[in-house]
Structure 1
Amino acid sequence: MTVIPTLETERLRLRPMTIEDWPQYEQLMQSDRSQFMGGPTPRHVTWGIFSHDIAHWVLFGHGALMVDDKTTGKTVGQIGLNHGPLFPEHELGWFLYDGFEGHGYALEAAQRMRKWAFEELGLKTLVSYIDPKNERSRKLAERMGAVIDPDAERHDPVDLVYRHPAL
């Protein structure tokens, strides 16, 4: 049986997804905020993506975790590791819900998940596939020390591939 971890930082709890996360997730994926994640998507596609994020744990031993602010208890976004037939390499991905940008949540969650990926999973490589127009995500990857790898394989030829340094 797959055990989905709960990871912590000083301010954040990265925890398994639950059905209670569905309404906020659905709202995001059906809004313009999802433009760099293939959205906005219709409800049935959104459900497939939500289920995909959970199924990764059973199929690959990693997947998505919701990000909660420990002080307020509010879910501020998601951090995850993707892999499988659509991802040539393990990908570190993230999103924040509306109103939670500018607090360092994405950076803190991404650093914690990256550490877990390298130290606990033993991954040798980790990338982030980022739309060139997604300036916030590009800056976040660069703050984490990731650099563009122009020769890396990608599932979307438009994406930039940011290669994360191994810890």
Structure 2
Amino acid sequence: MIPTLHTDRLILRAPEARDFEVFAAFYGSDRSSFVGGPLTRSAAWRMLAMEAGHWQIAGFGRWILEAQDSGETVGLVGMFAPEGWPEREIGWDLFGHHTGKGYATEAALAARGYAYDTMGWDTAISLIAPANTASMAVASRLGAVYERDYQHETHGLLQLWRHPAPAQLATDTNHRRTA
């Protein structure tokens, strides 16, 4: 069962079939180039199925972000660790015109809080394409720091950003545990 989380403005919920059109539009666009796209519609469907299946296989995964005020599907955020990843990750993708509103930071704080407080993780990373300065800014707001480069077999050169550990967050007033 995939839990549902709530932040001030967002609902983090299980991926559903109704998310496919927005998901396919994002993964079919050049905006998805930092996360393995652009993809065909059939490949985007497989990606959405993988997101849902990750929960079943790993016991955790990424949530669809739904704006509480409009019900719009605005992104994908959460815990991720597919084959080929160096460690468990907190990752985020925002769809369409939903960037620049703080959604990624708000949702990633909730996801990281869940990973640490509920799943018992003691560390987390975020893998970011070197040209993805927007994601680097989100990582910085979360208190993550660049640690090293990582060469992925499919995605190429990525930067590995390390999030503060739970104990560090407990004493850090600048990077809250949750949203």
Tell me the TM-score range normalised by the shorter chain: over 0.9
Aligned to 2:2: 4
Which letter maps to 1:86?
G
Matches within 5 A, 1:78-117: 78-117=76-115
Q: Deviations over 1:69-92 (max 9, x none)?
A: 111221211102111322121011
Per the TM alignment, residue 160 of structure 1 is displaced from its structure 2 partner at its CA by: 0.3
Task: Report whether the alignment pairs 1:142 with 2:147.
Answer: no
Q: TM-score, normalised by structure 2?
A: 0.87
Q: Distance in 1 between matches of 2:105 and 2:32?
A: 19
Aligned to 1:21: 19
On the 8 A contact 1:91/1:127 being kept in 2, the answer is yes
Structure 2: tracts of 5 or more residues without a match? 167-179
Q: TM-score, normalised by structure 1?
A: 0.93
Aligned to 1:158: 157
Give percent identity, aligned residues only.
38
Q: Distance in 2 between matches of 1:85 and 1:39?
A: 18
Per the TM alignment, residue 45 of structure 1 is displaced from its structure 2 partner at its CA by: 2.0
On the 8 A contact 1:150/1:161 being kept in 2, the answer is yes
Q: CA RMSD of the aligned region, Å?
A: 1.4
Q: Distance in 2 between matches of 1:166 and 1:45?
A: 35
Per the TM alignment, residue 157 of structure 1 is displaced from its structure 2 partner at its CA by: 5.0
Q: Summarize the Cα distance change of 1:82–1:154 in structure 2 as closer, same or farther, 3 Å threshold.
A: farther
Give 3-state SS (helix, strand or coil) of 1:159's partner.
Answer: strand
Q: Distance in 2 between matches of 1:91 and 1:35?
A: 19
Structure 1: tracts of 5 or more residues without a match? none
Per the TM alignment, residue 104 of structure 1 is displaced from its structure 2 partner at its CA by: 0.9
Per the TM alignment, residue 154 of structure 1 is displaced from its structure 2 partner at its CA by: 5.2
On the 8 A contact 1:87/1:154 being kept in 2, the answer is no
